[in-house]
Structure 1
């Protein structure tokens, strides 16, 4: 794979080529994107039968998205699957060293680049849809993440609970998932965070929710796509590479903070009342000294 290809996924190139595709080629594109990347890993005869187009049309399609042939398309899709399973040990072997003399400032520059990339790849329309779903008080919001990304889900849920009711951060223990799933209604929203070294349990959970409850599923992942994305109604693909042994969740945190602010302002009057009521209960609990919290503690 050339350097030009390696910087973008097959999914991205299919979307970029959308305006140049014929009606038959759009059928192929839609089939691959609907169950990405697995449909693209079927043999060419199976793909032709599934889409009702000829093998030569498939060959022309893969050429338009920058592949030298159908086998090259499959090699790239397999490479993407492998990329999604990279561990810190794998990433360390190809990291771009951060200079130790100015480590912090250089690392901050890298993170700034990641967040700028996020702003360029997540459209305003996509952000608006997500914010509107979360702000809708008629919908319950269920959140969960993977082994590390669950911390991002927790950060979002803590703030959302102070803004509106109906926020449920699901337990990371699958034994408790049935209680949440059985509570879900079709109009509710499920937010799943899953970045590479994906949690297959989240994919199974998303599939169960889609089939049994029909709730709207939003998967926030990276460009290699969590398997949970196969069941998603909305997918947000974020940049996570900082050129080090560790992927960064900086873009996810920036996105989440933007959502918190946007959702809180959707109905600021209701938000203010919720926060006042929330704090009224919180400060009445044992262990809270309002004077100390306000900085008015009079030490004796």
Structure 2
């Protein structure tokens, strides 16, 4: 399968070290409000970033674009991809699908997604997020959306065993104000939001952030708007030959976080595991073979 073209965000990360100070100023402004900050004319985006028009022109050429119009079109295509539904996604794949069995195409797509995802994870940001997830001084809240609520449930099951003070927020946004009521500075909110991004999740993130809660966002390669208030954002590549996106890379990143949080507080977690096993034995929840 042909590797999908890099997003503008990826290109900026790849070329960031080669950018001048002024070019980095524009790049940072774009990433802070991505991709909206690059969707106006070159004069407007330059003015908004407080750089010169030639600075913008030079930077987009360093990213591999012939000029600003091509750069602008790339951002528009990314924006279109953000809002596409299942029918359009399948149409995109069907028009470009290579020959070969679906299983092979699927396997290649998933492999590419995993590679792209983990090559774009900043290790320092990952470590900081894990420390936050493992810190029991604050409460950890976990929530997902229509599709990603399954990921939130999986995360809750593991983090509840790893640490104390974990709350799984229901999928009904009507109940969220009750959770927000008890949120305080120092708490953490782990959120999952992928295209088509859910407005209720964004509002929840904003309300939590206003209360001093640190938001950790796991999203797709196009990035949920929640990223504007998140302390840590992790992008996972999700496209596959299907009308639906894949959660494989998202689950892989989540499992890496769970494993790292377990190691972060292993002595306490081991004691919890042992007590939990004792309770399981008492309730005879699991079958014993010895």
TM-score by length of 1: 0.84
Equivalent-residue separation in structure 1 for 2:109 and 2:75 (angstroms): 27
Q: Partner of 1:177 in structure 2? A: 176
Are positions 1:9 and 2:1 aligned together?
A: no
In 1, Cα distance between the equivalents of 2:113 and 2:70? 29
Tell me the equivalent position of 2:129: 130
Q: How many residues align?
A: 286
Task: Determine the structure 2 residue equivalent to 1:241.
Answer: 239
SS of 1:217's partner is strand
1:215 deviates by: 1.7
Q: TM-score normalized by structure 2?
A: 0.87
**Does the CA-based 8 Å contact 1:219-1:229 persist in structure 2?**
yes
Deviations 1:117-172 (A, max 9, x none): 33323243333222222112223211111210111011011111011111112122
Contact 1:186 1:213 in 2 (8 A): yes
CA displacement, residues 92-130 of structure 1 (integer Å, 9 cap, x when unaligned)? 222437866xx6576445434433433323243333222
The residue that corresponds to 2:34 in the other structure is 36
Q: Distance in 2 between matches of 1:209 and 1:152?
A: 20
Where 2:83 maps in the other structure, the secondary structure is coil
Q: Distance in 2 between matches of 1:107 and 1:41?
A: 33
The alpha-carbon distance between structure 1 residues 108 and 17, as it changes in their structure 2 partners (threshold 3 A), is closer
Structure 2 spans left out of the alignment, 5+ residues: none
Residues 223-262 of structure 1: pairs in structure 2 closer than 5 A: 223-262=221-260
Partner residue in 1 for 2:17: 19
Gaps of 5+ in 1: none
Give me the whole-angstrom Cα distance separating, in 1, the residues matched to 2:267 and 2:51.
55
Deviates more, 1:116-125 or 1:228-237: 116-125
Answer yes or no: is the 8 Å Cα contact 2:105–2:241 preserved in 1.
no
- Against the structure 1 CA distance between its residues 104 and 206, is the aligned structure 2 distance closer, same or farther, given a 3 Å change threshold? same
* Cα distance in 1 between the residues matched to 2:207 and 2:83: 23
> 1:140 corresponds to which residue?
139
Contact kept, 8 Å, 1:98 with 1:107, in 2: the verdict is no
Larger Rg belongs to: 1
Structure 1: distance between partners of 2:277 and 2:34: 45
Report the Cα offset of residue 220 of structure 1.
0.8
> Quick check: 1:162 aligned with 2:185?
no
Query: In the superposition, relative to structure 1, how do residues 150 and 97 fare at CA in structure 2: closer, same or farther (>3 Å)?
Result: farther
Alignment of 1:77-92 (within 5 A): 77-92=75-90
CA deviation vs aligned residue, 1:226-267 (integer Å, no higher than 9, x gap): 121122221111111223333211111112222222222222
Label 1:196 to 1:25 Cα distance change in 2 as closer, same or farther (>3 A). same
3-state SS of paired residue (2:26): helix
Question: Alpha carbons of 1:213 and 1:261: their partners in 2 closer, same or farther (altered >3 Å)?
Answer: same
